[in-house]
A and B are shown apart, each in its own frame.
Chain A
Amino acid sequence: MNRYVYILSLFICWAAVFSSTVYADEFIVAQNNKTFKKDGKKIESITIKKGDTIRFKNEDPFFHNIFSLSDLKTFDLGSFPKGQSKTVVFDKAGTVEVECAIHPEMYMEVTIE
Chain B
Amino acid sequence: MKLTTIARDVTYTCLFFMSTLMITNASVAATDINKYLRPAEIPQPSNNLITESRIELGKMLFFDPRLSGSNWISCATCHNPALGWSDGLPTAIGHGQKVLGRSTPTILNTAYQPLQFWDGRARSLEKQALGPIESAGEMAQSIGKSEGKLQSLIDELSALKGYRDAFEKAYPGEGITKKTIAKAIASFERTIVSTDSPFDLWIKGEKHAMNDAALRGFKVFEGKGNCVKCHNGFNFTDNGFHNIGLKDASDAGRYAIRKVKILIGAFKTPTLRDVALTAPYMHNGAYKTLEEVVDHYDRGGVTKENLSPNITKLNLTAREKSDLVEFLKSLTGAPNPITYPVLPTE
Main secondary structure, interface of A, reads: mixed
Question: Interface stretch among A10-18, A21-29, A41-49, A88-96?
Answer: A10-18
Given A69-B259, A78-B261, decide whether A9 and B9 contact each other with a Cβ distance below 8 A: yes
| B residues 233-249 in Cβ contact with A at 8 Å | 238-242
Residues of B in contact, count (CB < 8 Å): 31
User: How far is A49 from B14 in the complex, measured between Cα atoms in Å?
Assistant: 40
Is B238 within 8 A of A13, CB to CB?
Answer: no
Is A65 within 8 A of B309, CB to CB?
Answer: no
A48 to chain B, nearest CB (A): 23
B273 to chain A, nearest CB (A): 20
Given A17-B21, A104-B115, decide whether A12 and B230 contact each other with a Cβ distance below 8 A: no
B15 to A, closest residue via Cβ: A13
B111 to chain A, nearest CB (A): 16
CB-CB < 8 A to A67: which residues of B? Answer: 258, 260
Given A102-B241, A102-B242, decide whether A12 and B14 contact each other with a Cβ distance below 8 A: yes
Is B120 within 8 A of A63, CB to CB?
Answer: no
B71, CB-defined interface residue at 8 Å: no
CB-CB < 8 A to B262: which residues of A? Answer: 65, 78-79, 101-102
Is A10 within 8 A of B13, CB to CB?
Answer: yes
User: How far is A6 from B114 in the complex, measured between Cα atoms in Å?
Assistant: 50
For A105, give its contact among B21, B29, B239, B259 (CB under 8 Å): B239
User: How far is A62 from B260 in the complex, measured between Cα atoms in Å?
Assistant: 18
User: How far is A21 from B29 in the complex, measured between Cα atoms in Å?
Assistant: 28
Is A13 within 8 A of B14, CB to CB?
Answer: yes
CB-CB < 8 A to B308: which residues of A? Answer: 63, 79
| B residues 21-47 in Cβ contact with A at 8 Å | 21, 29
CB-CB < 8 A to B201: which residues of A? Answer: none
CB-CB < 8 A to A5: which residues of B? Answer: 1, 6, 9-10
B18, CB-defined interface residue at 8 Å: yes
Further contacts, 12 of them, CB under 8 A, given A10-B17, A17-B21, A101-B241: A2-B1, A9-B9, A12-B10, A12-B14, A13-B17, A34-B238, A62-B229, A99-B258, A102-B240, A102-B262, A103-B238, A104-B241
Nearest 4 CB-CB pairings of A with B = A9-B13, A101-B260, A62-B229, A9-B10
Q: List 19 A–B pairs whose Cβ atoms lie within 8 Å, in order of A's numbering.
A: A2-B6, A9-B10, A61-B229, A62-B229, A62-B238, A63-B308, A63-B309, A65-B262, A67-B260, A69-B258, A69-B259, A79-B262, A102-B241, A102-B242, A102-B262, A103-B238, A104-B240, A104-B258, A105-B239
